Structure 1
Amino acid sequence: MDAAEWDARYADTDLVWSRGPNAFVEAECSALPPGRAVDLACGEGRNAIWLASRGWDVTAVDFSQVALDKGRQLAGDRSAGGSVDWVCADATAWRGEGYDLAVVAYFQVPATDRRTAVRHVVESLRPGGTLVWVGHDSTNLAEGTGGPQDPRVLMTAEDLLADLEGIAVDVQRAERVARVVTTADGHGAEAERTAWDCFLRLRRA
């Protein structure tokens, strides 16, 4: 989907994503001391807003202006303590520097674009800065539930590490992780099912 299609999707619904932060982002970032962060492909800014509420100064990047406008409205005064700078830009082309933290959640694009984006975002970190990346894992297509059904935009943690060849990093976690989701079972009841995500946490060396 291009920016116009995402604009339409964000305009057609109250919230595409949840109001609260991604569970993996929250778990991995809660203990980090606040500094400068980038939330790449931020959507409506749920992770950026949460980080700002914890004192981070966040650059929230997305190519959908509609999503960014919604994020700015959602933030209200909840970002007290930190700040959010809403930047309309293509996540594969955005470049920055000197960040303490980079968060990327469910940025599902073909491998060439993914490789460009992950290299740029790691290069935006200061030495010692942290990347937290979570995405729909390639195995979710056959073994999990939900998520994109196009294998070209799925990935593994190993794919991401291969994308970063030549960049010095200290890998802290690189694995497949389970995420429990509640779905309708077709008979008016709800059922819990497992979705599989890839997860990568590293520090720039």
Structure 2
Amino acid sequence: MTDAHTQQATEIMFTAEFWDERYGSKERIWSGNPNPHLVATVAGFTPGEALDVGCGEGADAIWLAAQGWRVTGVDVSGVALGRAAAVAAERGELAERITWQQVDVLSWDPAPARYDLVSAQFMHLPRPALEALHRRLAAVVRPGGTLLIVGHHPSDLETTIGRPRLPELMFTAEQVAATLDERDWQISATTPGRDITDPDGNPVTIHDAVLTATRR
């Protein structure tokens, strides 16, 4: 595949049509469980206003609402959001604490200093667009609030778990940290490992890029 074809293919990956088709291809894409780094990070936090970016089928947003947060879940896919809203509705009054919003994160610019928690889990975009998104997300965190960004670490490309061979879409926590001003943030950039099983049944350790930052 030529560079031009590769660029065209990756651009398609960020459209509503692509994700609507993917979500529509199966009854469920993800596990339905909240992301473990989110659960670990907010343990002990006082619930407030949270923004879940790329919320997909809503597991993180629903879990946050169950902990007492008021949550805005945003995603490019209307199919995913409809599925998320349906799951939340099954939880009764919990659904009243969640607002679902369809947005294109490539151009979306949320209101500044609005949220106590901003979480973006495994959002992978081309580097310039990703850095721009991270800066916009940082701007919507209130003083004392937390920005949590988690992604696949580039070292996963060396494993046998079948990651797409698109290194330009992966990032390190340190690269995310570089978009923040240390004078304004208390920053933690880590690369924790997780033990999983690859498609052939072999044990494999993968690594996540985890940026946790608290606005001073």
TM-score by length of 1: 0.90
Q: Does 1:87 align with 2:87?
A: no
The match for 1:134 among 150, 153, 173 is 150
- CA drift of 1:183 comes to 3.1
Distance 2:194 2:160 in 1: 9
Corresponding residue of 1:18: 31
Larger relative strand fraction: 1
Deviation at residue 182 of structure 1 after TM alignment: 2.7
Cα RMSD after superposing both structures: 1.8
Q: 1:194 to 1:41 in 2, by over 3 A?
A: same
The residue correspondences of 1:1-205 to structure 2 (distance < 5 A) are: 1=13, 2-78=15-91, 80-81=93-94, 83-92=97-106, 93-97=108-112, 98-143=114-159, 145-165=161-181, 168-171=184-187, 173-185=188-200, 190-205=201-216
Deviations 1:155-178 (CA, angstroms, capped at 9, x unpaired): 00111012235872111x201111
1:67 is paired with a residue of what secondary structure? helix
Report percent identity of matched pairs.
Answer: 34
- Matched to 1:83, the amino acid is R
More helix per residue: 1 or 2? Answer: 2
C-alpha distance in 1 between matches for 2:49 and 2:90: 19
Q: Describe the SS at the equivalent of 2:198.
A: strand
What per-residue deviation string (whole Å, max 9, x for no partner) do you get for residues 148-203 of structure 1?
320010000111012235872111x2011112223332xxxx33321111001011
How far 1:29 sits from its partner (Å)? 1.2
Q: Tell me the TM-score normalized by structure 2.
A: 0.86
The code of the aligned residue for 2:135 comes to R
SS in 2 for 1:155: coil
* Counterpart code for 1:90: D
Aligned length: 200
Amino acid at match of 2:191: R
SS at match of 1:199: strand
Unaligned runs of 5+ in 2: 1-12
| Contact 2:161–2:198 (Cα < 8 Å) also in 1 | no
In structure 2, C-alpha distance between the alignment counterparts of 1:146 and 1:200, rounded to whole Å: 24
Distance, in Å, in 1 between the alignment partners of 2:183 and 2:20 is: 34
Distance in 2 separating the partners of 1:106 and 1:148 = 13
Structure 1: where are the runs of 5+ without partners?
none
How far residue 79 of structure 1 moved from its aligned partner, in angstroms, is: 6.8
